[in-house]
């Protein structure tokens, strides 16, 4: 591990209260790793901005008259593909890149910049492909795609950047030793997330190598991304758990879980990831058994790790000192993240059939991860050389975003109880009763509020950066 001097993640961190429990905090380096971490942060921010623009285009594509001005006849599904990939795949992976860059040693940083460059070029190609025409939008689970050559080239470039990032993160992973404190447990969680991503990339390649040549269209891409997509859910879950503990520590909470127990929770989630290669060895990738085993592993492994850590975090916050101006945005992001992820998890228990309860479940879980990562961005801005977000807007933003998304998923649950089908829009939804219409109306209103909450996140971050007087991609100061 590099011996470069480190700075605390937040210069305004709350002193630890006099209560029992472990403290979970990390320090960040003050060298070239910060430069690379900033680059990943701004790739993630660019992805969020792009996904917001595509959400506006989604509305325009369904507006009579205006939709004829768009470059592709079926622009709704084209925009939906890019919107989903930017707001989930690129945003999550870019924030993972930021965290892994700060967690690893300072060796081979030139390769880290190359990984960032490849991922950025791939993201730009995927976004621009929506306007070039050609190809078919395919709403496959986990990674929807356009079959246009430009989109596929961009997706491969992005995957190459992620692969190089993961390789570098594993080679430069900090050596933790047999003893763990809170910081060591967090580093173990970040390392485990990198391993889960490596397994996901292996699964994508394995699926591509063995897929039957007779398959095409949605069936082909559904199977191609199924195994690796499940493994990626462990990456997002591990990053979220690290974020929960990290944010709680910065809010002055001491977690009633020892670092060794926390490491055990992370290890159980990681162990479930390795069911993925077993599923490939034991069953044909197109079989029901293969799909069911991967789904079972995701539910079991994720749940075992999430519940104890979530309960410990909520309990510790209830006994933590009262939040002051610097920590209110962090606490708001943390509590809203736990609430949304819990809502998504509870909805998943009651899924029956293929209706809009399914997107309600995964929207709750995905938004839970997103809010945790938003909180980490707020937390890390001072450590990256920017001003800490403050004020009522920074505290209101997570709650507004969470409230909108909660309305969104409750509307879906309501409508799902009446059998409204997923992945359809407009007249295809066949809304017959006032209750069905009301449920989808609640969903739409919540979605609009959530979009405002997402835009406010961008505003808060940009204001903090501008107030610091440091360019977004400024180079780290030499040591």
Q: Which residues on neighbouring strands pair with residue 7, listed in sequence order?
A: 28
The residue segments making up the domain with residue 372 are: 327-469
197 falls in which pLDDT band (50, 70, 90)? Answer: very high
User: Span 310-318, mean pLDDT?
Assistant: 91
Residue of 340, 347, 334, 374 whose CA lies nearest to 446: 340
Return the higher-pLDDT residue of 225 and 2: 225
Q: Is residue 261 part of a domain?
A: no
Burial of 300 (0-12, 13-18, 19+ CB in 10 A): middle
pLDDT at residue 198 greater than cutoff 90: yes
DSSP 381: T
**Total domains present in the chain:** 1
As a whole number of angstroms, the distance between CA 369 and CA 367 comes to 5
- Rounded to whole angstroms, how far apart are CA atoms 72 and 78? 8
Q: Is the pLDDT of residue 58 over 60?
A: yes
> Which of 177-186, 222-231, 372-381 has the weakest average pLDDT?
177-186
Asked if residue 401 belongs to a domain, the reply is yes
Residue 123: pLDDT over 90: yes
Output the six-digit token pair for 272: 């479930």
Residues, the chain, total? 479
3 state DSSP class of 187: helix
Residue 455 lies in a domain: yes
The H or E element spanning position 271 is helix 259-273
**259 within some domain:** no
The residue ranking higher by pLDDT, 227 or 297, is: 227
Q: Which of 289-303, 329-343, 431-445 shows the lowest mean pLDDT across its residues?
A: 431-445
Q: What per-residue confidence (pLDDT) applies to 438?
A: 65
Strand partners, 49: none
Confidence of residue 469 (pLDDT cuts 50, 70, 90): low
Structural contact between residues 406 and 446, judged by C-beta atoms closer than 8 angstroms: yes
Please report which confidence band the pLDDT of residue 59 belongs to, taking 50, 70 and 90 as the band edges.
low
Largest CA distance in the chain: 67
Q: How far apart are CA 248 and CA 379, in angstroms?
A: 11
pLDDT at 400: 95
List pLDDT tens digits, range 359-409.
677 778 889 999 999 999 999 999 998 999 988 999 999 999 999 988 888
Instruction: Band the pLDDT of 225: cuts 50, 70, 90.
Output: very high
pLDDT band, very low/low/confident/very high, at 9 (cuts 50, 70, 90): very low
Q: For 283-293, b where at least 16 C-beta lie within 10 A, e where not — what string?
A: bebbeeebbeb
Q: What is the DSSP string of 316-373?
A: HHHTSPPP-TTTHHHHHHHHHHHHHHHHHHHHHHT--SSSTHHHHHHHHHHHHHHHHH
Average pLDDT, the chain: 83
Is the residue at 318 inside a domain?
no
pLDDT tens column, 71-117: 555 677 888 899 899 999 999 999 999 999 999 888 888 999 999 99
Least Cα distance to 104 among 190, 18, 182, 177 occurs for 190
* Better-scored residue on pLDDT, 301 or 398: 398
Q: State residue 460's pLDDT score.
A: 95
Nearest Cα residue to 361 out of 374, 335, 339, 343: 343
Confidence of residue 479 (pLDDT cuts 50, 70, 90): very low
In a domain? residue 315? no
- Which region among 181-195, 305-319, 434-448 has the lowest average model confidence (pLDDT)? 434-448
Give residue 418's pLDDT: 42
Give CB contacts under 8 A, 24+ apart, made by 467-475.
467/386, 467/387, 468/385, 468/386, 468/387, 470/385, 470/386, 472/38, 472/42, 473/38, 473/39, 473/42, 474/35, 474/38, 474/385, 475/35
Q: What is the pLDDT of residue 107?
A: 85
- Asked if 218 and 140 count as a contact pair (C-beta separation under 8 A), the reply is yes
Instruction: Work out the number of other CB atoms within 10 angstroms of the CB of residue 220.
Output: 19
CATH label of the domain that carries residue 362: 1.20.120
Q: What is the pLDDT of residue 45?
A: 96
Q: What gap in Å lies between CA 413 and CA 5, rounded to an integer?
A: 50
Neighbours of 473 (CB within 10 A): 10
Q: Read off the tokens for 459.
A: 């505003």
Asked whether residue 459 is assigned to any structural domain, the reply reads yes
Chain segment 412-442, per-residue pLDDT in tens: 776 654 444 444 444 344 445 566 566 667 7
Q: Please state the pTM of the whole predicted model.
A: 0.86
The answer as to whether 305 is a domain residue is: no
């Amino acid at each position: 591990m590099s011996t470069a001097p480190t700075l605390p993640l937040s210069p305004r961190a709350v002193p630890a209260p006099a209560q029992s429990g472990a403290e979970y905090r990390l320090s960040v380096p003050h060298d070239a790793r910060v430069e690379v971490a900033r680059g990943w942060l701004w790739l993630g921010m660019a992805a969020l901005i792009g996904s917001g623009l595509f959400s506006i285009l989604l509305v325009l594509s369904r507006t009579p008259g205006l939709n004829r001005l768009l470059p592709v006849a079926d622009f709704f599904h084209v925009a939906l593909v890019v919107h989903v990939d930017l707001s989930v795949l690129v945003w999550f992976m870019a924030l993972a890149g930021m965290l892994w860059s700060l967690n690893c040693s300072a060796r081979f940083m030139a390769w880290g910049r190359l990984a960032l460059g490849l991922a950025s070029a791939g993201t730009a190609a995927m976004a621009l492909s929506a306007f070039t025409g050609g190809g078919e939008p395919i709403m496959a689970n986990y990674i929807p795609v356009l079959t246009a050559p430009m989109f596929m080239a961009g997706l491969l470039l992005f995957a190459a950047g992620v692969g190089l990032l993961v390789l570098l993160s594993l080679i430069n992973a900090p050596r933790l030793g047999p003893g763990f404190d809170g910081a060591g447990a967090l580093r173990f969680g970040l390392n485990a997330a990198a391993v889960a991503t490596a397994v996901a990339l292996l699964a994508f390649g394995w699926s591509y190598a063995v897929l039957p040549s007779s398959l095409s269209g949605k069936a082909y891409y559904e199977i191609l991304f199924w195994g690796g997509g499940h493994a990626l859910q462990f990456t997002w879950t591990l990053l979220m758990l690290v974020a929960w503990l990290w944010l709680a520590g910065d809010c002055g909470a001491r977690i009633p879980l020892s670092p060794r127990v926390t490491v055990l929770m992370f290890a159980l989630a990681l162990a479930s990831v390795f069911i993925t290669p077993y599923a490939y060895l034991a069953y044909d990738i197109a079989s029901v058994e293969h799909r069911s085993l991967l789904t079972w592993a995701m539910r079991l492994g994720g749940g075992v790790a999430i519940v104890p850590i979530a309960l410990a975090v909520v309990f510790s916050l209830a006994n933590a000192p009262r939040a002051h101006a610097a920590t209110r945005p962090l606490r708001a992001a943390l509590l809203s993240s736990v609430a949304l992820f819990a809502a998504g998890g509870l909805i998943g228990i009651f899924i029956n059939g293929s209706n809009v309860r399914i997107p309600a479940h995964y929207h709750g879980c995905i938004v839970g991860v997103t809010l945790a990562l938003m909180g980490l961005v707020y937390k890390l801005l001072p450590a990256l050389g920017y001003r800490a977000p403050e004020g009522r807007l920074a505290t209101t933003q997570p709650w507004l975003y969470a409230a909108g998304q909660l309305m969104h998923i409750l509307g879906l649950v309501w409508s799902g109880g009446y059998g409204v089908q997923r992945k359809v829009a407009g007249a295809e939804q066949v809304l017959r009763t006032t209750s069905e219409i009301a449920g989808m109306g609640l969903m739409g209103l919540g979605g609009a509020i959530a979009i405002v909450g997402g835009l406010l996140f961008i505003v808060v971050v940009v204001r903090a950066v501008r107030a610091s007087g440091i360019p977004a991609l400024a180079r780290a100061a030499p040591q």
